[in-house]
Structure formats: structure tokens, C-alpha cells
Amino acid sequence: MDFVKMHGLGNDYVYVDCFRQRVDNPSRLAVQISDRHFGVGSDGLILVCPSERADVRMRMFNADGSEAQMCGNGIRCLAKYFYETYHPHTADHEMSVPGQRTFPAMLRVETGRGILTVGLELDEHNKVSRVCVNMGQPILKAREIPVALDAEQVVNVRMPVHGQELSMTCVSMGNPHAVFFCEDLDAIDLPLIGPLIEHHELFPQRVNVHFVKSDNPNEFTMRTWERGSGITLACGTGACASLVAGVLIGRCQRLVRAHLPGGDLDLNWCETDNCVYMTGPAAEVFRGVWPD
């Protein structure tokens, strides 16, 4: 089985082209191929699939085999692969970001979050260098995230974890996120606290966990424990959720640069359409053949 290893800011996935191949058990394959000692090594598996509703469909599986609704870094890489493989001549279809810029090429990607619009920045060789994703409107109602709290929204709610009381804001970007703003990221024992929050009884579908430090109103730095994958170098949906959480509690503006361990993302929670736009790089690492 042919595969492509790609990453967005170090958040790496193995991609399989299901226009050309079939994967019968993607959950099992995700566990095997993601293993960093006995497999290819990745944060998960992404299938590039045909769609009856959009240009392409993305299915994403975490390293533990669980299927997730959405992956921000993963969709940027999928867009790069699909455009460069199948649609190198669609540059006349533009994508405009309200109040910002226009991207010369556009794709529509079917995800568990719905159909998302993706804008592509192209280099002189018509290769994709950066990708902007309209991540849609954030979901803030507790029951829809979901969070098992009797509240309309979960904003600055105190949560006891391992003898500490943390201030938590919850957002869904198609997948659930718990965001904790703090003053010292290095003081957070993420390998300990991350899984405790991920599997907490408040989160019936588990949750992605983010600790965020506001550097100034237009920048923040974050660390992530991803549901089903553990510590990762970047989380695109998590960065978007952290922006929304920061705006809700007055810690940042709507237009920010997020600093993640793997690099930077430019984020915009647009007032005109209430959508979050995420822009960042996508890179191919290598191609190979997995023994089926």
C-alpha cells in the first residue's frame, strides 16, 4: 500500500490515497502505522477519499485508532496533497478571507465537521506553500461540545485537577477542546495532567487539552495534549479553540499569531461571519510502501 508522510508544524500524519487504494480496517492500520518504533511513526492516519458533496473527503484516525471529526493541521496537508495530485489547474477558483487577503486556489473538503472551504497559497511552480482553512463557527453550547455541566457555556469555569483548581473554557471546532490560560507553561506537568483531563467524567467523548499563555493581545503560546495521540507539536483545531477562548475571557484579540512547539499559525475569528480562519504551512516528508 502506497502512503505519503506529511506534517503541519510537526503534527504528522500518514496519508493514504483512497481514490487509488482501499483500506478495510483504518482503525487497526492507524495503530500499526503510527507506531514510532515498529511503524512509520505519526500522530495518526488520514484517508484521502472521494466525496459526492465536495472535491475530496478527509477521514482522520488518531494514533490509538479512534476516529476524530476534524484535524486542522491534517486538513492543510490533505489539501496540499490533493491539489498537487489531482487539481493543478484550478487556480482560477479563488477564496477570499473577510478583511484579509484572497487565495488564488480553493478546494472544498468534506469532514466530520461538515464541508470546509480551503484556500491555497501557491509558489512559482504551482505548488502549495501555505493553506488557509475556514474552520467554521465555533460551538460554545456545553451540551453540543459536549461537556457534562448544567450550563449554557463553559467559560472561566473552575475545574479541580490533581489537587489544583484550573480555570477552564470549553469550545468545539467540530471536536471538543478544553482551554486553560496560565502564566507559566513550563510549570504544567502535561504528561500527568493531560490524560487526567482528557478522560475526565465531564467529557463523554474525551477532550483535547490546551494550556495557553497570552504573550500580548495579538500573540499567544500554547502546549497541547491531543485526545487519542498525547503530546503533539501542534494542534490546528486547538489553536482555533484557544483563540475563541482567549477572546471570550478577554485575553486576546480576534486576529492573533499562535506559537506552537512546531511553529506558528495565523488565526482570525472574523466578526462578519463568526468563522475562524486558520493559515499555516503544509509539508511532505517522504513517500513509501506499507506491507499490506
Q: Of 35, 57, 32, whose CA–CA distance to 46 is shortest?
A: 57
- Spell out the per-residue pLDDT of the chain, length 292, in tens: 999 999 999 999 999 999 999 999 999 999 999 999 999 999 999 999 999 999 999 999 999 999 999 999 999 999 999 999 998 655 457 888 876 778 888 999 999 999 999 999 999 988 999 999 999 999 999 999 999 999 999 999 999 888 888 999 999 999 999 999 999 999 999 999 999 999 999 999 999 999 999 999 999 999 999 999 999 999 999 999 999 999 999 999 999 999 999 999 999 999 999 999 999 999 999 999 999 7
- Largest Cα–Cα distance in the chain? 57
Of the candidates 132, 235, 240, 275, the residue annotated as catalytic is 235
Give kind and range of the element (H or E) at residue 12. strand 11-17
In this predicted structure, what is the pLDDT of residue 87?
81
Of 71, 77, 240, 252, the catalytic one is 71
To the nearest 10 degrees (0 to 180), the angle between helices 72-86 and 236-248 is 130
Based on the residue annotation, tell me whether 71 is a catalytic residue of this protein.
yes
- Measured on CA atoms in the order 58, 59, 64, 68, is the torsion positive or negative? positive
Phi, psi of 208 (to 5 degrees): -85, 140
235 is an active site residue: yes
pLDDT value of position 88: 64
Q: What whole-number distance in Å separates Cα of residue 90 and Cα of residue 266?
A: 24
CB 227 within 8 A of CB 196: no
Q: Which domains are seen in the chain, by residue range? A: 2-122+281-289 (3.10.310.10), 142-274 (3.10.310.10)
Contacts of 269 (CB under 8 A, 6+ apart): 138, 240, 243, 244, 247, 254, 255, 275, 276
What pTM did the predictor assign? 0.93
Q: Taken in order 181, 194, 174, 12, is the CA torsion positive or negative?
A: positive
Closest CA to 241 of 212, 264, 263: 212
